[in-house]
Structure 1
């Protein structure tokens, strides 16, 4: 383990999250394999291997459906955010369940083939030119490969190594995996004897995933239009764009130079933003290079401190510095370039995001 990466720290929330996932998966598999067969009206009981194959396959499909619904649900209602925080654990478990399904398929249909079972899987059906009888196995293989890649790169090491844009683009392939799974099911399981319940579940899954993403897409489009209008209005009033929220690291500052070489330090701390002059009242030290402690900035030159909300030094000291007003439109930070009198209180802009 290098000095740059630490092992995963299992806190209580992660343990509870994973425990609930495991219990839900185990309960679903138990009901499917042990309880559901008693209610089937069939002349010949379904073989145990086929039953387990279907149980794990349907479980993976439902888990993938829930994963893709969590994101839009969290945007529609913040109460779903706890499900979003450890969604990568959900994805890794889904890949594992899908792998078990694939193993049952190979073990039941191809284990006694005179050729290698992997070769038999890929060569037993090559009728790619027709819809009925299309080799749906290819879609399942493609989905499984994507799930494995996403599970293998889910750790923050890969986020740091690949960079956020590449890592995010890679994990957007989850939608391709879902499309492949739907095609795998539609051209495979749904082509067999009629099963209205499973057909309804697949249709409901597609409607839920596409519907939720459509609704949240419309909502975010309206919000973006509102943000652009608000930002344009503020700029007309003389406010300046100071940058994006993600440009500032926690407990650090971004220094913005205004006209006349006036420099303003915008600090990000405790889920809040505050702006003060970059110049210390003692000997003009660069406050933007200082450290935030208990809501105060400490000048890196001589240790003078100022409350970020009002620019006042903690009692019994009496130094004061100028403060500035901020607004946050989406993730864009806007700054009023007109300095307020030294010691003027300005309510910090809250953006959340505190772990």
Structure 2
């Protein structure tokens, strides 16, 4: 499948992913609004509008925390990969929840302002030189604008139009949004209470995001150091290869390679789909074609080429078996280069055909 011919369609996994996400959002809001007011123990009585605003704000914060943890957790443990496949849906839903929070705030705090309410959001408080009473509205607005940009550009059209490198850099805005939200909450609601439950949640959430990213970075750095001593990179033992499946390895330059065992022979291609960097090593192989689990793009594991009439291509790699170790040379062949597969027990280097 290719965006040039067939639009990406929803499937059962996408519907299931979104159903579970919506159920989680609904459960959080019900718990916050109806079950835990006594546990939250607000220092002074608040109106239902403020309570609803805090409920949606807290939900958006937790959702964004989960989103930022999915990537490193998937690198640390492959069982988290299904959560990664449709993470963009999670981000769009988070944006709608954050917009609802902003709507409650604007329509309650600024609806009767002498100036237009949207203008009053930024003009009512300009005490930027102090922590107590800092204008957290500016932080919240910045975070919301970041989320809106990410949600708007999440469609495949923008990935194609902006090119994957630019699109990826643009979506790093999610980290700036998260920092702004942490500051927004810390300088806002956390200064207005004596109960430290929300304080603990905010600190634990931020620590979880930082901790998972640090752990994933250390794991990748350790693998890179181990592989740097040899030009050929060991992907695993021959006993770890399974017929019809791939074993994914990290190369010294940070790229990932997928080594497939098909009909007793080894082939290696880039693990990143040309469409949106989906994990090809997680896909199914049918008639020498691996299907990307994200959006269904297919590639020949011998050449890295999509079947005609599609034109997508990914790099291929040389493979060898050395002392029962499956190894890949880190220098990638140009996308679409055919490489003869080698028997799993073979030791000579494969021939590269141009």
Please give the TM-score of this superposition, normalised by the length of structure 2. 0.68
The answer as to 2:296 corresponding to 1:294 is: no
Given that residues 245 and 332 in structure 1 are in contact (C-alpha distance below 8 angstroms), is that contact kept between their aligned partners in structure 2?
no
Aligned to 1:273: 267
Q: Which has the higher contact order (CA 8 A, sep 6+)?
A: 2
Aligned to 1:155: 155
The answer as to 2:194 corresponding to 1:194 is: yes
1:56-90 Cα offsets, whole Å, 9 max, x none, are: 00000000000111111111110000111111100
Query: Structure 1 44/132 Cα, relative in aligned 2: closer, same or farther at 3 Å?
Result: closer
CA-CA distance at 1:345 after TM superposition: 3.6
* Farther-moved stretch of structure 1 (14-23 vs 204-213): 204-213
Aligned to 1:114: 114
Q: Structure 2: 5+ residue runs without aligned partners? A: 235-252, 270-284, 290-300, 304-317, 321-325, 334-339, 347-354
Aligned to 2:220: 220
Aligned to 1:299: none
Given that residues 56 and 97 in structure 2 are in contact (C-alpha distance below 8 angstroms), is that contact kept between their aligned partners in structure 1?
yes
CA-CA distance at 1:160 after TM superposition: 1.3
The answer as to 2:15 corresponding to 1:15 is: yes
Aligned to 2:168: 168
Q: Structure 1: 5+ residue runs without aligned partners? A: 235-243, 251-266, 276-291, 297-306, 310-323, 335-341, 349-355
User: Who wins on radius of gyration, i.e. which is larger?
Assistant: 1
Counting only pairs closer than 5 Å after superposition, residues 1-355 of structure 1 correspond to structure 2 as 4=4, 6-39=6-39, 41=41, 45-231=45-231, 273=267, 294-295=287-288, 325-326=319-320, 329=328, 332-333=331-332, 345=343
CA-CA distance at 1:137 after TM superposition: 1.0
Query: Structure 1 274/34 Cα, relative in aligned 2: closer, same or farther at 3 Å?
Result: closer
CA-CA distance at 1:7 after TM superposition: 3.5
Distance 2:210 2:255 in 1: 29
CA-CA distance at 1:117 after TM superposition: 0.3
Distance 1:245 1:214 in 2: 16
Distance 1:164 1:35 in 2: 44
CA-CA distance at 1:177 after TM superposition: 0.5
Given that residues 245 and 333 in structure 1 are in contact (C-alpha distance below 8 angstroms), is that contact kept between their aligned partners in structure 2?
no
CA-CA distance at 1:134 after TM superposition: 1.4
Distance 2:42 2:131 in 1: 28
Distance 1:308 1:232 in 2: 19
Query: Structure 1 155/345 Cα, relative in aligned 2: closer, same or farther at 3 Å?
Result: same
Aligned to 1:314: none
Given that residues 227 and 329 in structure 1 are in contact (C-alpha distance below 8 angstroms), is that contact kept between their aligned partners in structure 2?
no
Aligned to 2:240: none
Aligned to 2:310: none
Distance 2:211 2:202 in 1: 14
CA-CA distance at 1:346 after TM superposition: 5.0
Aligned residues: 275
SS in 2 for 1:230: coil
SS in 2 for 1:211: helix
SS in 2 for 1:229: coil
CA-CA distance at 1:36 after TM superposition: 1.6
* Farther-moved stretch of structure 1 (146-155 vs 186-195): 186-195
Given that residues 230 and 329 in structure 1 are in contact (C-alpha distance below 8 angstroms), is that contact kept between their aligned partners in structure 2?
no
Q: Which runs of 4+ in 1 moved over 3 A?
A: 5-8, 38-45, 244-248, 267-272, 324-334, 342-348
SS in 1 for 2:228: helix
Distance 1:135 1:141 in 2: 11
Please give the TM-score of this superposition, normalised by the length of structure 1. 0.68
